[in-house]
């Protein structure tokens, strides 16, 4: 096992040993390499000032330069990857087109947010050069500016976009990626001293190694680190031993398995002994490794579960979606986790594994109380299976938050209804933000089943729903407000459906 990291920064190969491996990427860039163009403002993934581009070599050889928040990514997670900071954009003294556009459009005032915006703009150009659709409002939703105002930044974005091909030329040298891919296939066991504390990071390359490492009771599992990185920066979490899953290819991947088809294990990459179950019953099923990111989820849902798209697009900003994982959201177990109402309403199942084998848990049985899970200390979440809506099913997701972009939910809901003509054949409903866990609304479901598809039916369902929950009052909303939302979401569902068909 390798005991040190190798990564590239702005084209230069770096080896990292000892305590530095446990720093956040932004702290290392600034303190270790003196690349102070990367700013730290919130240290919580909220403002984008610390945005850098990262490419991880893929088995396919295809490189995707993605913007991420460097303040909540640990250095040991970047072994084998290439990081480009704002210092790496200019070439031979000439500003990159994104930088030039910001200058010409007056996109910067105090300048503190500017490197982050420039890197997010570069990320948008990289997406465009890959042929992906580009919507700058979404692309820049992970960046905050408090003094320039966004108009001139959007003008700069529009101007930069016309020269988006520069980024492919600038990053054309991919000679590092051959070694990077080899490094990503190796497992790591790094030890070092950080502020006088002996630290260790175990970074397995296979599921078997990950499960073996999971036997260490002290080791804290980390995937995308978008939850744990925030806790680390706030000093609320100080594990001495990290178990980093981010290079376990077999826990990644996402695919849709059609009815009756055997799971395409090669597509998913999971080893057969961790596959758990055979061919999918019923309709099509989304099958994902827990390391599937929100960007991966968005791509698949855009094709096969369009109703989830609006909520997924409001999940963090691009920097969060590129690294935050489905498994991390599930295991973090927040009652306002945005994936959970969808997973509950579609009756997803989770496969969890330990050295002793694999078991399957229905998602609504996974949560025992606030952040209390049916997951033993030696188990990992290894697969998520979510049936997709059948043709004719109606699925509606609602996320209510104080801000549209990059905000934590006050209330979430998923309503999934199967119709039989004018009658409701079955309903599956889940609410978040109304209790210590996401709640499956079984009494409300029973009140809807067999009823005519009318406004009166949904009005009554709202009344049943408010009797089924006891939401708290907190900084995001009062109990009364949440009850009102729980009631109204049924009328919204009914009327939106009337508009859709009429």
Ligand X SMILES: Cc1cc2nc3c(=O)[nH]c(=O)nc-3n(C[C@H](O)[C@H](O)[C@H](O)COP(=O)(O)OP(=O)(O)OC[C@H]3O[C@@H](n4cnc5c(N)ncnc54)[C@H](O)[C@@H]3O)c2cc1C
- Which residues contribute to the site for ligand FES (CB under 6 A)? 40-43, 45-50, 69, 71, 108-114, 145-148
The listed partner (ligand X, ligand FES, none) that binds 146, CB under 5 to 8 Å by sort, is ligand FES
**Residue with Cβ nearer ligand X (57 or 327):** 327
The listed partner (ligand FES, ligand X, none) that binds 438, CB under 5 to 8 Å by sort, is none
Within its chain, how far is the Cα of 14 from the centroid? Answer: 28
State yes or no: residue 437 binds ligand X (CB under 6 A). Answer: no
State yes or no: residue 88 binds ligand X (CB under 6 A). Answer: no
The listed partner (ligand X, ligand FES, none) that binds 148, CB under 5 to 8 Å by sort, is ligand FES
Minimum gap (Å) between residue 414 Cβ and ligand X: 13
Tokens for 37, please give them.
């163009």
**Residue with Cβ nearer ligand X (283 or 435):** 435
State yes or no: residue 227 binds ligand X (CB under 6 A). Answer: yes
Minimum gap (Å) between residue 501 Cβ and ligand X: 30
State yes or no: residue 45 binds ligand X (CB under 6 A). Answer: yes
**Residue with Cβ nearer ligand X (332 or 457):** 332
Which position among 56, 79, 338, 468 is part of the footprint of ligand X (CB under 6 A)? 338
State yes or no: residue 358 binds ligand X (CB under 6 A). Answer: no
β-pair partners for 357: 354
Instruction: Give helix then strand counts, H and E, for the chain.
Output: 19, 20
Token pair 């909540």: residue:
72
- Containing H/E element for 241? strand 241-244
The listed partner (ligand X, ligand FES, none) that binds 325, CB under 5 to 8 Å by sort, is ligand X
Token pair 């059948």: residue:
390
State yes or no: residue 332 binds ligand X (CB under 6 A). Answer: yes
CA angle 186, 187, 192 (to 5 degrees): 125
**Residue with Cβ nearer ligand FES (112 or 481):** 112
**Residue with Cβ nearer ligand X (90 or 377):** 377
Token pair 């009344």: residue:
463
Q: Where are the alpha helices (DSSP H) in 305-425?
A: 309-313, 318-321, 326-332, 340-345, 363-366
State yes or no: residue 78 binds ligand X (CB under 6 A). Answer: no
The listed partner (ligand X, ligand FES, none) that binds 211, CB under 5 to 8 Å by sort, is none
The listed partner (ligand X, ligand FES, none) that binds 329, CB under 5 to 8 Å by sort, is ligand X
Minimum gap (Å) between residue 217 Cβ and ligand X: 13
Q: By three-state DSSP, how is residue 224 classified?
A: coil
Contact present, 203 and 80 (Cβ < 8 Å): no
State yes or no: residue 228 binds ligand X (CB under 6 A). Answer: yes
Q: Where are the alpha helices (DSSP H) in 113-203?
A: 114-129, 136-139, 150-161, 166-170, 176-185
State yes or no: residue 335 binds ligand X (CB under 6 A). Answer: no
Size, binding site for ligand X by CB under 6 A = 31
Q: Where are the alpha helices (DSSP H) in 333-476?
A: 340-345, 363-366, 442-448, 455-468
DSSP 169: H
- Contact track, ligand X, 389-428, x by CB under 6 A: -----------------x----------------------
CA angle 373, 292, 367 (to 5 degrees): 15
**Residue with Cβ nearer ligand FES (113 or 343):** 113
**Residue with Cβ nearer ligand FES (113 or 222):** 113
375 Cβ contact list (under 8 Å, min separation 6): 331, 352, 366, 381
Contact present, 346 and 304 (Cβ < 8 Å): no
**Residue with Cβ nearer ligand FES (73 or 252):** 73
CA pseudo-torsion sign 102, 107, 112, 113: negative
The listed partner (ligand FES, ligand X, none) that binds 42, CB under 5 to 8 Å by sort, is ligand FES
The CA distance from 27 to 285, in Å, is 41
Token pair 């984008």: residue:
48
The listed partner (ligand X, ligand FES, none) that binds 108, CB under 5 to 8 Å by sort, is ligand FES
Touching ligand X, residues 234-263 (CB under 6 A): 245
Alpha-carbon separation of residue 156 from 45, 107, 443 (angstroms): 23, 7, 52
**Residue with Cβ nearer ligand FES (142 or 333):** 142
State yes or no: residue 121 binds ligand X (CB under 6 A). Answer: no
Alpha-carbon separation of residue 372 from 225, 302, 364, 454, 470 (angstroms): 20, 32, 12, 38, 19
Minimum gap (Å) between residue 340 Cβ and ligand X: 8
**Residue with Cβ nearer ligand X (199 or 448):** 199
Query: b or e along 76-109 (b: 16 or more beta carbons within 10 Å of the residue's beta carbon)?
Result: bbbbbbbbbbbbbbeeeeeebbbbbbbeebebbe
Touching ligand X, residues 292-331 (CB under 6 A): 315-316, 320, 324-325, 327-329, 331
The CA distance from 50 to 145, in Å, is 13
**Residue with Cβ nearer ligand X (26 or 226):** 226
Touching ligand X, residues 187-226 (CB under 6 A): 220-226
Residues that bind ligand X (CB under 6 A): 44-46, 72, 220-228, 230, 245, 290, 315-316, 320, 324-325, 327-329, 331-332, 337-338, 380-381, 406
């Amino acid at each position: 096992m390798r005991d040190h990291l190798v990564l590239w920064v702005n084209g230069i190969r770096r080896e990292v040993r000892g305590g530095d491996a446990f720093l956040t990427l932004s702290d290392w860039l600034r303190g270790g390499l003196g690349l102070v163009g990367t700013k730290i403002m919130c240290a919580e993934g909220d403002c984008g000032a610390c945005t850098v581009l990262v490419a991880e070599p893929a088995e396919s050889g295809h490189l995707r330069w993605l913007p991420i928040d460097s303040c909540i990514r640990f250095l040991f997670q970047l072994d084998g990857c290439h990081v480009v900071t704002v210092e790496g954009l200019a070439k031979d003294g000439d500003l990159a087109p994104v930088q030039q556009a910001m200058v010409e459009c007056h996109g910067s005032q105090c300048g503190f947010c500017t490197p982050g915006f420039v890197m997010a703009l570069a990320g948008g150009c990289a997406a465009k050069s890959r042929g992906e659709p580009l919507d700058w409002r979404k692309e820049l939703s992970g960046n905050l500016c408090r003094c320039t105002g966004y108009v001139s930044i959007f003008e700069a974005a529009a101007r930069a976009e016309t020269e988006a091909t520069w980024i492919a030329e600038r990053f054309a040298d991919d000679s590092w990626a051959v070694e990077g891919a080899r490094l990503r296939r190796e497992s790591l066991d790094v030890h070092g001293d950080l502020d006088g504390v002996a630290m260790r990071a175990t970074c397995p390359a296979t599921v078997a190694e990950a499960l073996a490492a999971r036997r260490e009771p002290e080791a804290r599992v980390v995937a995308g680190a978008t939850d744990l990185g925030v806790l680390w920066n706030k000093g609320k979490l100080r594990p001495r031993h990290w178990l980093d899953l981010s290079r376990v290819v077999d826990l990644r991947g996402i695919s849709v398995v059609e009815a009756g088809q055997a799971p395409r294990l090669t597509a998913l990459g999971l080893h057969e002994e961790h596959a758990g179950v055979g061919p999918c019953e019923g309709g099509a099923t989304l099958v994902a490794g827990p390391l599937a990111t929100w960007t991966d989820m968005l791509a698949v849902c855009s094709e096969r579960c369009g109703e989830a798209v609006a909520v997924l697009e409001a999940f963090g900003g691009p920097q969060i979606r590129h690294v935050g994982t489905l498994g991390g959201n599930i295991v973090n177990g927040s009652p306002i986790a945005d994936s959970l109402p969808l997973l509950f309403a579609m009756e997803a199942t989770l496969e969890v594994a330990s050295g002793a084998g694999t078991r399957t848990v229905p998602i609504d049985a996974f949560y025992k109380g606030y952040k209390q899970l049916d997951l033993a200390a030696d188990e990992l979440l290894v697969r998520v299976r979510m049936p997709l809506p059948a043709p004719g099913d109606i699925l509606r997701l609602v996320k209510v938050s104080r801000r549209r972009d990059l905000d934590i939910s006050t209330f979430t809901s998923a309503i999934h209804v199967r119709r039989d003509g004018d009658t409701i054949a079955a309903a599956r409903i889940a609410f978040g933000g109304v209790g210590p866990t996401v709640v499956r609304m079984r009494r409300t479901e029973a009140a809807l089943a067999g009823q005519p598809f009318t406004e009166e039916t949904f009005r009554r369902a709202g009344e049943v729903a408010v009797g089924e929950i006891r939401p708290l009052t907190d900084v995001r909303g009062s109990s009364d407000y949440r009850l009102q939302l729980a009631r109204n979401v049924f009328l919204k569902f009914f009327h939106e459906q009337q508009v859709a068909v009429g």
